[in-house]
Amino acid sequence: TRLVLYKNNLRVDFSFWPINVLYEIIENRILPESYRNGYEVLLDKDKITDNIILPNYDGFIITQPTEDELLTTIYNFWFEAYSVAKYLKRDRLWFAKILENGPIKGFMLQIILWNESSKYDWNNNKIHSQGKNLETQVDIDIKESFKKCFSKYDKSDTWDSLFGMIELFKRLAYEL
């Protein structure tokens, strides 16, 4: 895939697929998620892509978690929160920041996405499963809480961020 940005702010992802991938998509009748919301074939001399199914616009939908998925996300969040606190206490700020900005933010995002999608009976496809449109779709109070969930490279600031994430995570997980 090659991403090209044009002067008018148009963004185009060009993909060049091996022939075996195209045949697999045709045979399985399943589009990769990133193509379910639309695509355009620019060149296909052999007309192979005429047999690819059309997009159904169900890409990047947030689905309702199973009980196991929800509990696993909750447990993993708490484990990572504990780990951030442990490394802060040991004055290992670098590693605490890696955990704070990596795994724990991933579990936060998952709870936020599930919480927002649950408000619309799991039919809200506006946020995007990777949070691309998060700021424009969440309630203002949740958006305001984001300010407490990020920190600079500072031990005290990282503690504040950790507590901000815990506060928001608890609230959203409880609402689910």
List the pLDDT tens digit at each of the 176 positions of the chain: 788 999 888 888 888 888 898 899 999 998 888 888 888 888 889 998 899 989 887 777 788 999 999 999 999 999 999 999 999 999 999 999 999 999 999 999 999 999 988 988 887 667 777 788 888 889 999 999 999 999 999 999 999 999 999 999 999 999 98
Dihedral of CA atoms 165, 166, 168, 174 in degrees, nearest 10, equals 150
Phi, psi for 10 (deg, rounded to 5): -70, 135
Coil, helix or strand at residue 14? strand
Q: Which two tokens stand for residue 17?
A: 């697929």
CATH for 67-175, among 1.20.120.330, 3.30.230.10, 1.10.3720.10, 3.40.50.700?
1.20.120.330
Per-residue pLDDT at 125? 65
Give pTM, 2 decimals: 0.76
Q: How far apart are CA 80 and CA 8, in angstroms?
A: 42
Q: How far apart are CA 48 and CA 45, in angstroms?
A: 8
Pinpoint the residues of the chain covered by CATH 1.20.120.330. Answer: 67-175
Per-residue pLDDT at 42? 86
